[in-house]
Structure 1
Amino acid sequence: MIRDDIKAAQIAAMKAGDKDTRNAVSLIQAAIKNRDIEARTGKAPDDDEALVVEVLQKMVKQRRESIEMYEKGGRQELADAEKTEVAVIERFLPAQLSEADTTAAIEAIKTELGATGMKDMGRVMAELKARHASELDMSKASGLVKAALS
């Protein structure tokens, strides 16, 4: 379970004196705890792993945006710190599908649903997310779905 891996990584980082990893793992745990609190007020998540993966993917996306902004602003030391956090966070994410595998999954769903054009994009994206949310960056998948349907 990803939560157990995160907890074990924090303990290992504390024992090793690895401040960067310890800090990144603490941020991960805080984000997951916040998401757990949000989930209490709404619909309970169907799958705990999916909830944790969603949080981790969101954290990676935020940090990549920050890296881009820091590099444009000439703040390389801040960009490097964010890159370190991304590397730690990505250790806990499931392996991502390659572009070829993603395209194959899109084609299979497109055929299965009988999708023919852009009007079917919502249905294809919903099915893709239902089947492969933890293995895909949905923003990149969106571009591939558009290409497949046009």
Structure 2
Amino acid sequence: MSLKAKLMDDLKSAMKNKDDVRKSVITLLRAGIKQYEVDNRVELDDEGVMDIISKQLKQRKDSLEEFNKAGREDLISETEAEIQVLMEYLPAQLSEEEIEAIVVDTIKEIGASSIKDMGKVMSALMPKVKGRADGKIVNELVKKNLQ
């Protein structure tokens, strides 16, 4: 079953179970997918759908950070629930140790020695961890290992 079909099935079950958070998150996801497909005149495969989900997840995490700074408890709990729903559609996330191991291997593969090589390392590394790691964490680990 494709990811788009799974989203549709989950939307139907969320509507039947009156799960408003799941329903709203899936509806927004499906709208984002449809918008991308219409704008670019393409049919997204599972990888493209995962990219959309990853972007939505990043937006929620950024918002969560801002809500924490502002002390908005009502929005924090709602956003955390949305993040949980989005995480269900992505592959299992890598731990920081697993990411660091991949970073070190990639640095050795490329032969990077200084922070000037960061672009090369990131371009080789991101396809390996796509959808399974937060780019911000990957970036920090690459900087740490290139110094």
Structure 1 and Structure 2 fold alike (TM over 0.5): yes
Please tell me whether residue 134 in structure 1 is matched to residue 131 in structure 2. Answer: yes
Aligned equivalent of 1:16: 17
2: CA distance, partners of 1:105 / 1:116 = 16
Q: CA deviation at 1:123?
A: 0.6
**Please, which of 131, 141, 144 is the counterpart of residue 144 of structure 1?**
141
The letter of the residue matching 1:73 is A
Please tell me whether residue 53 in structure 1 is matched to residue 50 in structure 2. Answer: yes
1: CA distance, partners of 2:66 / 2:100 = 30
CA contact (8 A) 1:5 1:92 kept: no
- Secondary structure of the residue that 1:135 maps to in structure 2? coil
Question: What is the number of residues matched between the two proteins?
Answer: 146
The letter of the residue matching 1:147 is K
CA contact (8 A) 1:67 1:79 kept: yes
* Identity level (%): 32
Deviates more, 1:91-100 or 1:74-83: 74-83
- Secondary structure of the residue that 1:101 maps to in structure 2? helix
What TM-score do you get using the length of structure 1 for normalisation? 0.87
Q: CA RMSD in A?
A: 1.8
Deviates more, 1:106-115 or 1:62-71: 62-71
Moved over 6 A (4+): none
Aligned equivalent of 1:66: 63
Aligned equivalent of 1:82: 79
Mind listing any 5+ residue stretches in structure 1 that lack a counterpart? none
Q: CA deviation at 1:11?
A: 1.2
2: CA distance, partners of 1:29 / 1:70 = 25
Aligned equivalent of 1:30: 31
